[in-house]
Amino acid sequence: MPIRIPDHLPARKTLENEGVVVMDSSRASRQDIRPLRIGLLNLMPNKERTETQFARLIGSTPLQIDLTLVRITEHVSKHTSEEYLNTFYSTWESVRERKFDGFIVTGAPVANIPFEEVRYWPEMLDIMNWTGSNVHQTMFICWGAQAALHHFHQAKRYRMAKKAFGVFRHKLVGGPTPWLRGFSDSPMVPVSRYNDIDKASLSKDLEILIDNEEIGVCMLADKTRRALYMLN
């Protein structure tokens, strides 16, 4: 099924060349189908590369998807032009009254900065709290996952002795869950991070789904809110 992305988004050509069915707004408006509404809060410097990667994955599902690209309202990007952002992205302030079936929060290159010192941390707090009322299911990834675990569960982040980098074998350690349907018991997972979460600090409201004893937790599910945390 097709994925609807902003009209004239540069990623469209790449996706179509890879066989992803892409639909523009005019065609989508004529479809008698209620698509899944997915928001992507893109915190990465290279917006175009990141949005293409996520659109590729989301567009491979059998569902019709309406993808909204979202950015921090106040933050000024150093690597993506304001013209590009104004053309293809919505600020969070402009979508905060909307409801989403799913919302993805990406990583960000601020791993060495204390959370409270990140320039856009106040808005991040608002966004994370907002997902509880306006989003059916949220997925926090990499730094986004660390930030959400810190905010919602006071999980302790620490700097590892050396950067975890490579593709590592992990284990499924949680109970049966639809999130991992089709996974092998020992999936290979790409990892690239400097920080880890102290398992001893994890709340009982969190369930570890994927783990590696040497490089730490990979994925957790939240029992109290509709959220997944993917640390890799």
CA 36/CA 57 separation, integer angstroms: 14
Q: Cα–Cα–Cα angle for 172, 190, 222, nearest 5°?
A: 45
The DSSP element (H or E) to which 179 belongs, if any, is none
For residues 33-46, one letter each, b for 16 or more C-beta atoms within 10 angstroms of the residue's C-beta and e for the rest, the string is eebbbbbbbbbbee
pTM of the predicted structure, to 2 decimals = 0.90
> What are the two backbone dihedrals, phi and then psi, of residue 140, each rounded to the nearest 5 degrees?
-100, 135
Q: Which pLDDT score is estimated for 82?
A: 87
Amino acid identity for residue 9 in this structure: L
Q: Which pLDDT score is estimated for 34?
A: 76
CA 165/CA 173 separation, integer angstroms: 22
Q: Among candidates 228, 45, 56, 59, which has minimal Cα distance to 144?
A: 228
Return the SS3 of 106: coil
Return the SS3 of 194: strand
Q: Which pLDDT score is estimated for 202?
A: 95
| Domain spans, the chain | 3-230
pLDDT in tens, 74-89: 777 777 888 889 899 9
Q: Which pLDDT score is estimated for 218?
A: 96
Return the SS3 of 138: strand
CA 29/CA 69 separation, integer angstroms: 18
Q: Which pLDDT score is estimated for 28?
A: 52
Which ranges of the chain have pLDDT less than 50? Answer: none
Return the SS3 of 51: helix
- Domain 3-230 sits in CATH at 3.40.50.880
Q: Which pLDDT score is estimated for 8?
A: 82
Q: Which pLDDT score is estimated for 105?
A: 98
